[in-house]
Structure 1
Amino acid sequence: MNVAASELQRYAELDRRLLGAARAINILPTVSWPASMEQRLIAAFAQGRYLLPQVRYQRPDLSAARAELAAVEREAAAVLPGDPLGDYLCRTAQSWRIAAEMLEAVGSAGVTAPSIALYGRPGDSIPGSHKSNLDAARYFVELSDELGADLLADDIATDLPAEQLRADLGRALDAFFGPGRIAVEVDPELTAKAAAGATRIRLRGGACFSEYDRHQLLAHEAFVHSLTALNGRAQPLLASLGRTSPRVTATQEGLAVFAELMSGAIDISRLKRISLRILAIDMALNGADFVEVYKYFAHCGQSPADSFHSAQRVYRGVPLTGGAAFAKDNVYLSGLLTVHTFFRWAFKQQRMDLLRNLFAGKLALHDVLSLQPHFEAGHLLPPRWLPPWMQHAHGLAGKLAFSLFINGIHMSQVQADELSLRL
C-alpha cells in the first residue's frame, strides 16, 4: 500500500496523542469496589443479612482528554481520507471518548448507555445467526444444569494458594517469553480472581486455585492478554496496539476465551459462569436490584463469595437499585462466538495470515481485515509471539476443518436409533 512517509509520521504522532489522552481514562479502577468492603459484605450476605451496599465513587474530570480525543478523530480522518490507519485511529479515539463520558457519570444510571455502546447488550444478535447473546447464555446454562449430576465426579480440588500459583506461573512465563519479561504478583485488593497486563499478571490475594485455573490463566491471561500487549508494544507505527481500547474488548476477551477452548482449558462450568453474568445484566437492566441478582447467582449454585463477586461485576459504577448495569461482562460469550466464527471463516477462505495477525496487538476483528494492506506493506509487523496452540497450524486446521463440517449436521434431525444402526 502506497502511503507517504510524511503521512505515516502524521499517523504516528496522532497515535501518541491518542495514548496520551487515554492515559487519564482508567475504566476498571474507577468503577471497582474496595476489596476490604467486599469481605465485610460477603460475610453479612452469607449470614442472610441482605442490605444494599453503599458504594461511593470518585468522579474524574476528563473534559481535557475528551477534547483531545475529539481532535485526534478529526485530524486522523483528514490525513488520507479512506485510509484504514485513519479509520483505526478515529474508531479508537471515539471509543476512549465514550469511555470518558461513561466514567464521568460513575455512580449514576448514566453509566449504562455508554457501557452498552462499548460492550453491547444481552439481546444483541450473534453474527451469522438468528439467535441472540441472551439465547446463547440460556442454552449454556440449561445444558450445564442438565449435565450437572453427571459432572460432579469431575470436580477439581482448589488447593493451590495464590503464592504457590504465583511461583508456578512465573516459571512457565519465563520459559515462554524469556526471564523477567512478565511478573506475577499477588494483589489483596484485586476484585477479579486474576488480571493481566503486558508485563504483569495479578492474582487475588487469599484466593485458592486449581490446576484447571492454572491452565486457564496461562491460556487466557498470559498467552492472549499479555502476549497481544507485548506484540502491540513492539509495533513501531501504532503504539496504541499495546493497550486494550474499549472498542477491542469484545475481540480480545472473545479471543482469550477461544484460546481456552482451543487449549482444552475451558469446561461447561466456565461457560455457565460467563453465561450467568449475561443473564444477570439482563435482569439488572430490567429492574432487578443487587440483592435479587446476588440471590440469583446463589440459586444457580455459586458460593456466597462467588455470588457476591458476580453480582458486583454487574453493578460496577451504577446504582444498585435496578434498571442500570455495567455491561462489560456481555462481551465474553458474544466475543467467543464471534471469534470462533471468524476463525472458521478465515480457515475456509484459506487466510491463516489473518488469524496470525490477530495476535499482532490489541486489535478488533474489523482491524485485522481493514489493516491487512498495511501488514502486507510492512507498516505493521506480524506478531513476535503466538500462543502454543497457534504455533501448530496443522492441529488448528484439523479442529477448524472438523468444526466447519460438523456444523452441517442438524441435531434436531438426529435420531438415536439411526446412530445405533450405523455403529
Structure 2
Amino acid sequence: MSVNPANVAPELRRYAELDQRLLAAVKGMRILTTVSWPASLEDRMIAAYSKGQFSLPEVTYQRPDLSAERAELARIEHEAGYEDPMGEYLSRTAESWRIAAEMLEAVGTSGVTAPSIVLYGRPGDAIPGSDRSNLDAARYFVELSDELGSDLLADDISVSIPADTLRDDLAHTLDDFFGAGVIAVEVDPELTAKAAAGATRIRLRGGTCFNEYDRHQLLAHEAFVHSLTALNGRAQPVLASLGRTSPRVTATQEGLAVFAELMSGAIDIARLKRISLRILAIDMALSGADFVEVYRFFCSRGQSPADSFHSAQRVFRGVPVTGGAAFAKDNVYLSGLLAVHTFFRWALKQRRMDMLRHLFAGKLALHDVITLEPHFESGAILSPRWLPPWMQHVHGLAGKLAFSLFVNRIHMGKVQAETISLSL
C-alpha cells in the first residue's frame, strides 16, 4: 500500500515521507532469495548423498551492489532521529536494513556471518530473564524429544497430502477467513523451503507431500501470522513499512509464528526438535564443521537424507560450505518463541491484553509494541483488522497464560514423584 503523505496529520507527515523513502530503498532487497540455493542443485546433491557419494556443494551467488541503498538508509536513519517513537522505529529499521545490505554484498563469503549474527543472534546468546542460553534451550528440547520418542505413540499423521491437494484445501480455508482471493496459494517447484508466505501469496514446495501437522502449522504459522500481519501492516496510514518484515523484527515475527503454533495446538515435540537441531547445527558450523559434517549430524538425529540436506543447506545459505561460517537466521525461531511467550505472560500480568492485539497490527518487534503505544492510542497506528483465530478467544488465551504464570512458581527441582502421588 502506498501512503500519500499529504493525507497524514502534519506532525506525522515527515515520518510518512521517510517511511516511503525507506520502502523505496529496500524494494529490491530480497534476503532469502539472494542467499538461496537452486532447487536443481539440491536435487542432484540429495540423490548423490543418498548413495553415500559425499562432496561439498558448489554454489554460485549473484553479489548485488547496494551502495546507493546503503547510503540512502544511512540518511533515513540519521534524519528520523529518536525524539519520537515513530522516528525511533524508522531509525532502527533503516539501520537493520543497512546491515542486511552489507551482509548481502558479502554473499558467498564468510563476511555474511558477522552481520547475520548482528541481525539474528548467536546460539550462545543468553535468554532474556534467564541465566540459560539459546543453545541450552536447544539442547533441552532435543534431549527431551529423544527421551520421549520411544514412549510416545505415533500420532495419526502418516497420511501424505500432495502439494496440489493441500493448495486447494488451504485456498478454501483462507478465502473463508480473509475473503475470496485475498491470499493466493501456489505450488512452486523451485522453492527450497517447504513453504513460504507473503502478504498475498503462500507458496508450497512442489513435489513434496505434507501431513496434518504440516497443514495446521501452515495455517497457524504462515497464514495467520506472516500473511495476516503483512496485510494489517499494509493498511497502516503512516507507516506502510509495517507491511514488510525488516531484519530487526525477524525474531519477533518468527517467534510469534511458532508461538501461534503452540497456542493453536499445531506444534509437536518433533517440530521443537527440528527447530532446536538447526541451532545446534549453526553452532557446529561456526565452530568449524563443514557442510557434510552438518549433514551427517542431521542424519544421526533421525532426519531423512532429503530433510538432512535441506536442514544443512539452511545453515550454509550465502556462506562458504567449508566450515567456520554460518547464516544465523534459524537462531531466531527458538529465541523468538521464548521472548514472545515471556511477553504474552508479562502483558497478562500487567492486564495489557491490548498490547497483545497490537502485536498483530503489522511487522513489529516486541520493543515497538511498547514504544509506539502513544500512536496506537491516537489512532495514527491502526489496530489490526484481522486477528488469528486463537487471539479472537481472549478468555481462552488468558486462561492458558494465567495457568502458565502460576505453575511457573512451582520449582520442579523440589518436586518428587512421591510428593505428587501422596497429594492425589
What TM-score range do you get, normalising by the shorter chain?
over 0.9
Cα separation, 1, equivalents of 2:204 and 2:282: 25
Q: Which moved more, 1:270-279 or 1:157-166?
A: 157-166
Cα separation, 2, equivalents of 1:149 and 1:5: 61
1:7 CA drift (Å) = 3.1
Cα separation, 1, equivalents of 2:226 and 2:77: 26
Q: Which runs of 5+ in 1 are unaligned?
A: none
Contact 1:66/1:100 (<8 A) preserved: yes
Q: Deviations over 1:243-273 (max 9, x none)?
A: 0000000000000000000000000000000
Contact 1:24/1:62 (<8 A) preserved: no
Cα separation, 1, equivalents of 2:314 and 2:268: 21
* Deviating 4+ runs (over 6 angstroms): none
Cα separation, 2, equivalents of 1:117 and 1:154: 39
**Paired position in structure 2 for 1:11:** 15
**Paired position in structure 2 for 1:42:** 46
**Paired position in structure 1 for 2:3:** none
1:157 CA drift (Å) = 0.9
**Paired position in structure 2 for 1:384:** 385
- 2:83 is paired with a residue whose SS is coil
Sequence identity, in percent? 79
Cα separation, 1, equivalents of 2:151 and 2:165: 31
**Paired position in structure 1 for 2:104:** 103
Cα separation, 2, equivalents of 1:418 and 1:355: 37
**Paired position in structure 2 for 1:229:** 230
Give runs of aligned pairs for residues 95-134 of structure 1, distance below 5 A: 95-134=96-135
Q: 1:301 to 1:152 in 2, by over 3 A?
A: farther
TM-score by length of 1: 0.98
Cα separation, 2, equivalents of 1:299 and 1:164: 32
Q: Which runs of 5+ in 2 are unaligned?
A: 1-7
Among 47, 63, 70, the alignment partner of 1:66 is 70
Contact 1:24/1:65 (<8 A) preserved: no
Q: Deviations over 1:359-379 (max 9, x none)?
A: 000000000000000000111
TM-score by length of 2: 0.97
1:150 CA drift (Å) = 1.6
Q: Deviations over 1:333-390 (max 9, x none)?
A: 0000000000000000000010000000000000000000000011100000000000
The residue identity in structure 1 corresponding to 2:27 is R
Q: Deviations over 1:189-235 (max 9, x none)?
A: 00000000000000000000001111110000000000000000000
**Paired position in structure 2 for 1:332:** 333
- 1:195 is paired with a residue whose SS is strand
- 2:63 is paired with a residue whose SS is coil
Cα separation, 2, equivalents of 1:49 and 1:151: 34
**Paired position in structure 2 for 1:23:** 27
Cα separation, 2, equivalents of 1:230 and 1:367: 18
Q: Which moved more, 1:22-31 or 1:290-299?
A: 22-31
Contact 1:354/1:369 (<8 A) preserved: yes
- 2:42 is paired with a residue whose SS is helix
**Paired position in structure 1 for 2:308:** 307
1:158 CA drift (Å) = 4.2
* Number of aligned residue pairs: 417
1:155 CA drift (Å) = 5.5
1:418 CA drift (Å) = 1.1
Q: Deviations over 1:22-49 (max 9, x none)?
A: 1121100000000011000001001111
Give runs of aligned pairs for residues 131-210 of structure 1, distance below 5 A: 131-154=132-155, 156-210=157-211
Cα separation, 2, equivalents of 1:122 and 1:178: 40
**Paired position in structure 2 for 1:75:** 79
Cα separation, 1, equivalents of 2:191 and 2:164: 14
The residue identity in structure 1 corresponding to 2:237 is P
1:65 CA drift (Å) = 0.5
- Computed over aligned residues only, the root mean square deviation of the Cα atoms, in angstroms, reads 0.9
